[in-house]
Structure 1
Amino acid sequence: MHGDRLRAPSRLHAFNRYEIKYLIDVDQVDRLREEIERRLDRDRHCPEEGYSIWSTYYDTRRLRFYWEKIEGLKFRRKLRIRHYGDRFAATAETPVYVEIKQRVNKVTQKRRVRLPYAEALALCDRRQMVESDSQPFVEEVLDLVSRLDLGATAMTGYTRHAYVGRDADLGLRVTFDRRIRGRDRDFDLAAQAENRLIVPARKAIVEVKANERVPYWFTDLAAAQNLQVVRVSKYCQSVEAYGLVPRSIFHISDDHHADAHRPAYLKV
């Protein structure tokens, strides 16, 4: 992508980052957040209780993007529509993001454009051109869904707490995701659909995103807390949880009985 496009006034947002993910027990979250809050600021969009993120992922009939992730290709990508906030309040005019997230070697690149929900669906589901001040990106999305015959495949949702760096840590972002759930049908955001927990309820995912490298203080904190790096994708978890493919070696399964008394399906 050309640098002049990034500098021009546009609703297209682009990010290049290194990402590391950790799987932790939920009873570690509060303690780890206390440590994080000593060095980072809470994201200004994040209330005390966190916020919801819902994403609809698009893939080919043979799940090309899923397999690119599982096989660890150096270049891989995903297309999704992402919504922040209460999904039941979503209307045709609700702003959402159409995103292409791709991995090039070890760098994660994310490009996205903000559109009304109805226009995002027109673009990704019905393959109709929509008007945007980021027209080259919209054209790229339309080409991708048309050329690869992409369709909505899985949805994920979770509650997130987010922190951003300050001073020497500018560009650093740390997020905590809990109640990670999904579904494989009824992809309308406001649908009265049931969602299955796709990561065990007692687990949370911590994501660390940095422009250049993760600071030493965080790697030291991770070592002190005995945090384990994992290779996990919420999209892949959802695909596997619904049996669209056999579970991979990367699947986070509930192999204990601690959650047996908890409901497997959630309405929210």
Structure 2
Amino acid sequence: MDLGHALRAPSRLHAFNRYEIKYLIDVDRLDGLRADIEKRLDRDVHSGPEGYSIWSVYYDTRRLRFYWEKIEGLKFRRKLRIRHYGDRFAITGDTPVFVEIKQRVNRVTQKRRVRLSYHDALRLCDKREAVEHSLGETAFIDEVLDLTSRLDLRATAITGYQRHAYMGRGADVGLRVTFDQRVRGRDRDFDLATPAENRFIIPPHKVIMEVKANERVPYWLTDLTASRELQVVRVSKYCQSVEAAGRAPRSVFHVPGHDIHLPLEKA
């Protein structure tokens, strides 16, 4: 199965508007939290016993414009990435990936993406060439071409992690809770299929729990996080990757209490 690529709409172009809240938890608390979540939410159909892998290539300017917009907390900001779900070592030019623009408008996160072959995604983002697409995707493709050309974007960082995901049902439709483990990255060798060395950008004993809601977080979930004394954190995987590679100083997004020189990934 090609994990993560089941489409939920007729078009290949998807748009999501939602609120996102993040927590940083110790890995030894993960099983208990997942057990509580599973009482109220359904496991994502792509999230088996081991979850699934997500790898993303982020694009930025030479001076890291998107990084600094995130650090400075601009009310409107964007970032461009190519995202793959599943085994990165199985990627070929024909493998489906998503080209995504994720943007923040005040407190709302918006994500728009189109599914392309990996070959076409690289043509679009690296070579800045128009690729074959449906009529409904023209505006998005044009926006990617404008961003990459006008801002001279180039691949800047890669992130990867293992995700367990849960989806709301009934009154909680639209709610999504994810747990991301073994969060790692690199600042070179940007071919997703390259067997390159990665560094942990979040300490390996930590897990990022993320709550994503269309309108509001249900009371049972806020009560759960309060009873577990979970603290909301501001953490960006992209910013962590940039900082771990020494390309920018530590920021408000840096995980406190841990040296920036995190260990290399072990096979």
What's the TM-score bracket when you normalise by the shorter of the two chains? over 0.9
Aligned Cα root-mean-square deviation (Å): 1.5
1:236 to partner: Cα distance: 0.2
Alignment of 1:104-115 (within 5 A): 104-115=105-116
> In the TM superposition, what is the alpha-carbon distance from 1:250 to its structure 2 partner?
2.3
- Give secondary structure in 2 for the equivalent of 1:93: coil
Structure 2 match to 1:202: 205
The answer on whether the counterparts of 1:200 and 1:254 sit within 8 Å (CA) in structure 2 is no
Amino acid at match of 1:202: H
For 2:124 and 2:78, the matched residues in 1 are separated by 18
1:231-262 alpha-carbon deviations (Å, 9 max, x no partner): 11000000000010111132015538xxx9xx
Judging changes above 3 Å, is the alpha-carbon distance between structure 1 residues 123 and 218 closer, same or farther for their aligned structure 2 residues?
same
Read off the aligned partner of 1:189 and give its amino acid letter. L
**Does 1:80 pair with 2:81?**
yes
SS at match of 2:46: coil
Contact 1:17–1:212 under 8 Å retained in 2: yes
* Other structure's SS at 2:161 match: strand
- Whether 1:144 aligns to 2:143 is no
Aligned to 2:59, the other structure's residue is in SS state: strand
The answer (yes or no) to whether the contact 2:157–2:238 under 8 Å persists in 1 is yes
Q: Does the 8 Å contact 2:180/2:209 carry over to 1?
A: yes
Aligned to 2:138: 135
Alpha-carbon offset, residue 266 of structure 1 = 2.0
Aligned length: 256
TM-score by length of 1: 0.93
Q: Percent identical across equivalent pairs?
A: 74
Task: State the one-letter code of the partner of 2:183.
Answer: I
CA offsets 1:3-41 (integer angstroms, 9 cap, x no match): xxxxx9421000000000000000111000000000000
Could you list the per-position Cα deviations for residues 95-114 of structure 1 after superposition, in whole angstroms to 9, with x for gaps in the alignment? 00000000000000000000
Deviation at 1:192, TM superposition (A): 1.5
Letter in 1 for 2:195: Q
1:170 aligns with 2:173: yes
Aligned to 1:117: 118
- The code of the aligned residue for 1:184 comes to D
TM-score, scaled relative to structure 2: 0.93
Q: Which amino acid aligns with 1:54?
A: W
Structure 2 match to 1:99: 100
1:43 corresponding residue in structure 2: 44
Q: Which runs of 5+ in 1 are unaligned?
A: 1-7
2:264 is matched by which residue type in structure 1? Y
Match of 2:251 among 245, 248, 252: 248
Q: Distance in 2 between matches of 1:13 and 1:251?
A: 31
Aligned-partner residue type, residue 214 of structure 2: N
Gaps of 5+ in 2: 1-8
User: Are residue 223 (structure 1) and residue 223 (structure 2) matched?
Assistant: no
Contact between 1:154 and 1:235, CA under 8 Å: does it hold in 2? yes
Once the 2 structures are TM-superposed, how far is the Cα of residue 53 of structure 1 from its aligned partner? 0.1
Instruction: Tell me which of 180, 183, 193 is aligned to 1:180.
Output: 183
Q: In the alignment, residue 248 of structure 2 is paired with which amino acid?
A: V
- 1:191 aligned to which of 191, 194, 197: 194
User: CA-to-partner distance for each residue in 1:43-70, whole Å, 9 max, x for gaps?
Assistant: 0111111000000000011111001110
Opposite residue 177 of structure 2, the aligned amino acid is V
